[in-house]
């Protein structure tokens, strides 16, 4: 298995429709705190997202970059990205979106393929009240990429209803049994040796420092999951 980094960890850094640009005045309208004491830059142009992430991944001494390629139809841009990846000896795991929850003949054509695999997120199953380990047992034999994540689940009782809230946290500080999940992936994934464990810290509180969380999580993963890493 190999450690990687996904662009989703830096949702506030790049900004967008869901996560506002911290360098713009209208950021105040969202009621979000500014990361005044963060190591992470306040903002990076989304057009430079992939280049920034490649450099960041290299500095962290990881193996894989997991992110989207915005300009597939620009040969010069693709040559630039290939050159950067080769210089840093990194692999790119491109991110694309597909609609596999459709109906009719088109959905059958998309799903009926031996190449279709899962991107298994170790924390997302908690958001639908499914135990991540149980989900891993179902998904491992189809998994080609893992989003390595940790979440803390807190009780929240503002009234008579018994509910909970979830927050992302650095690896090792939450309630996700990532070690057991990696054991399952090692036993059942189609290609566990080359399986990419792409660190994703999301949803992240906006007043937290992405870089500090990433540094802490990578250090933890390299120590706690050493037996799984190539």
- Based on the structure, what is the number of domains in the chain? 1
What proportions of the chain, in percent to the nearest 5, are helix, strand and coil?
Answer: 40, 15, 40
pLDDT tens for the 230 residues of the chain, in order: 999 999 888 887 887 666 777 788 877 777 777 766 667 788 888 888 899 999 999 999 999 999 888 788 899 999 999 999 999 999 998 877 666 666 667 666 666 677 778 899 999 998 888 999 999 999 999 999 999 999 988 777 666 666 777 888 999 999 999 999 999 999 999 999 999 999 998 877 777 888 899 999 999 999 999 999 98
Token couple for 157? 């009782």
Q: Whole domain around residue 153: which residue ranges?
A: 2-228
Q: How far is CA 9 from CA 5, 6, 37, 66, 210, in A?
A: 8, 6, 18, 11, 7
Collect all residues with Cβ–Cβ distance below 8 Å to 177 and sequence separation of at least 6. Answer: 132, 133
**CATH no. for residue 150?**
3.20.20
């Amino acid at each position: 298995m190999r450690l990687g980094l996904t662009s989703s960890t830096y949702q506030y850094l790049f900004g967008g429709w869901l996560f506002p640009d911290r360098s713009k005045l209208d950021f105040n309208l969202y009621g979000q705190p500014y990361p005044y004491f963060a190591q992470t830059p306040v903002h990076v142009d989304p057009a430079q997202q992939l280049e920034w992430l490649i450099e960041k991944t290299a500095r962290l001494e990881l193996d894989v970059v997991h992110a989207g390629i915005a300009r597939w139809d620009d040969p010069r841009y693709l040559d630039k990205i290939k050159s950067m990846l080769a210089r840093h000896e990194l692999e790119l795991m491109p991110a694309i979106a597909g609609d596999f929850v459709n109906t009719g003949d088109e959905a059958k054509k998309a799903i009926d393929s031996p190449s279709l695999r899962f991107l298994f997120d170790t924390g997302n199953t908690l958001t639908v009240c499914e135990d991540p380990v149980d989900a891993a047992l179902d998904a491992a034999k189809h998994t080609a990429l893992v989003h390595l994540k940790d979440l803390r689940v807190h009780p929240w009782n503002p009234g008579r209803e018994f509910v909970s809230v979830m927050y992302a946290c650095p690896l090792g500080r939450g309630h996700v049994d990532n070690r057991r999940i990696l054991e399952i992936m090692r036993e059942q994934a189609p290609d566990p040796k080359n399986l990419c464990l792409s660190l994703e810290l999301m949803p992240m509180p906006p007043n937290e420092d992405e870089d500090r969380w990433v540094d802490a999580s990578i250090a933890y993963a390299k120590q706690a999951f050493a037996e799984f890493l190539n």
